[in-house]
């Protein structure tokens, strides 16, 4: 079973085991004020069993993993112990205030910029690679369509009847697009156009594109209020990661010191009188 709390914090499996091993020490758990009630283990075990169609299916599943009912119960107990430990030592000690979020927002303005967008219409005239004269035929058709639109023909109507792009169903409307979403040649032409102007045919590997910018939306900065909630959550996640890593390192150091101390104690013994 994957620990929800640990999974949300992206704790590596080896660190989850490390926490569990160290928190399994009864003295350490008591010192931290953490304990697992039998009823909690029973309830969690019931959840696990409910995932299987029958008691026999559950028994076969744990046996296939080399487990016994006792070892499953022990794992569940450790799992709950780790959840409680993380909640106590990490979650409950991490709080990101609105003021902290605002300071981050003001110090990192570029992170909250919305890029420039254009509202774009598009007609595609595909070229048929199977026909030797396919490129020339497609180019002539695209030039004709562009000329008709520039003389007053309705772009959306021609897109519905003549375009080879799926956007024809929407009259060629691609909606708001920003840089990075279009093919380079199409993007360059689109962001050069003034609103209301129709482009000459632009060639790509797909054929010839006719473009019309309906509107241009300049780069803007999102307001703090519009991103406040998400920013507080994101900063909280980062703070939890830092807090969790620091706590794990502390546990690891304590465990190492204790292991060394125990090793020294076990190697020392009564000395004979006169021995150095």
Domain count, the chain: 3
Task: Give the pTM.
Answer: 0.52
Q: Can you give the residue range of the structural domain that contains 12?
A: 1-93
* pLDDT tier at 7, thresholds 50, 70, 90: very low
Condensed to tens digits (0 to 9), the pLDDT of residues 233-273 reads 999 999 988 888 887 777 777 655 554 554 545 444 433 33
Q: Residue 160: enclosing H or E segment and its boundaries? A: helix 155-162
- Same domain? For 259 and 210 the reply is no
Same domain, 126 and 82: no
In a domain, 275, yes or no: no
The verdict on residue 271 lying in a domain is: no
Q: Quick check: 158 and 142 in contact, CB under 8 A?
A: no
Looking at the fold, whether 121 and 146 belong to one and the same domain comes out as yes
Q: Please tell me the predicted confidence (pLDDT) of residue 88.
A: 82
What residues are paired with 213 via a beta bridge?
120
Q: How many CB atoms are closer than 10 A to CB 239? A: 16
Judge if 142 and 203 occupy the same domain.
yes
Euclidean distance between CA atoms 1 and 172, whole angstroms? 50
C-alpha distances in angstroms, 136 versus 130, 164, 203, 214, 260? 13, 16, 11, 29, 82
Same domain, 160 and 86: no
Q: Final residue of a domain: which of 58, 93, 128?
A: 93
Domain edge (last residue) among 93, 124, 151: 93
| Residue 201 contacts residue 210 (beta carbons within 8 Å) | yes
Is the per-residue pLDDT at 175 higher than 70?
Answer: yes
State residue 174's pLDDT score: 96
What is the chain's mean pLDDT, rounded?
82
Q: What is the pLDDT of residue 208?
A: 96
CA distances from 227 to 61, 111, 112, 116 (A): 46, 11, 9, 19
């Amino acid at each position: 079973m994957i620990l929800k709390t640990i999974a949300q914090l992206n704790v590596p499996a080896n660190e989850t085991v490390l926490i569990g091993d160290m928190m399994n020490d009864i003295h350490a758990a008591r010192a931290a004020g953490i304990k697992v009630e039998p009823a909690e283990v029973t309830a969690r075990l019931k959840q696990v069993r409910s995932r299987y169609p029958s008691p026999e299916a559950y028994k076969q599943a744990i046996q296939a993993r080399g487990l016994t009912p006792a070892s499953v119960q022990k794992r569940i107990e450790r799992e709950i112990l780790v959840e409680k430990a993380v909640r106590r030592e990490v979650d409950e000690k991490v709080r990101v205030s609105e003021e902290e979020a605002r300071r981050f927002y003001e110090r990192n303005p570029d992170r909250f910029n919305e890029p420039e967008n254009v509202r774009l219409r598009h007609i595609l005239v595909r070229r048929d690679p199977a026909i030797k004269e396919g490129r020339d035929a497609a180019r002539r058709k695209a030039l004709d369509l562009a000329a008709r639109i520039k003389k007053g023909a309705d772009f959306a109507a021609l897109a519905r009847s003549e375009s080879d792009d799926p956007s024809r169903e929407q009259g060629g409307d691609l909606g708001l697009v920003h840089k990075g979403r279009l093919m380079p040649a199409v993007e360059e032409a689109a962001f050069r156009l003034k609103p209301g102007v129709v482009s000459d045919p632009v060639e790509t590997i797909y054929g010839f594109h006719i473009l019309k910018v309906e509107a241009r939306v300049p780069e803007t900065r999102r307001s703090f209020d519009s991103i406040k909630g998400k920013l507080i959550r994101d900063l909280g996640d980062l703070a939890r990661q830092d807090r969790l890593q620091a706590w794990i390192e502390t546990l690891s150091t304590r465990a190492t010191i204790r292991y060394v101390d125990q090793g020294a104690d076990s190697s020392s013994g009564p000395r004979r009188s006169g021995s150095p």
